[in-house]
Amino acid sequence: MQVILFLRGVCKGETTRQIAAELKLNYKTVLDMRHKIQASAEAEQPTTPLADTHSETDEMFQNTGEKR
């Protein structure tokens, strides 16, 4: 169960300190695990550009920073 909660925290962008506190783990342990996961994810990124000549963007952030 801790693995799932750890991965959820990393994917949500929670701080290492928050994850360590929630899981009652040592900060350094969580930091090392996070770095290993991020390095593995980076190593799996493709090195070739996308074949498409154009791309779409999501409209999710179209009003970011706008005051209501």
- The per-residue pLDDT for range 11-56, each reduced to its tens digit, is 999 999 999 999 999 999 999 999 999 999 999 998 888 787 877 7
**Residue 21, pLDDT score:** 96
Asked if residues 1 and 10 have their Cβ atoms less than 8 Å apart, the reply is no
**Residue 62, pLDDT score:** 59
pTM: 0.65
DSSP tag of 13: T
CA geometry: angle 40, 46, 50, nearest 5 deg: 150
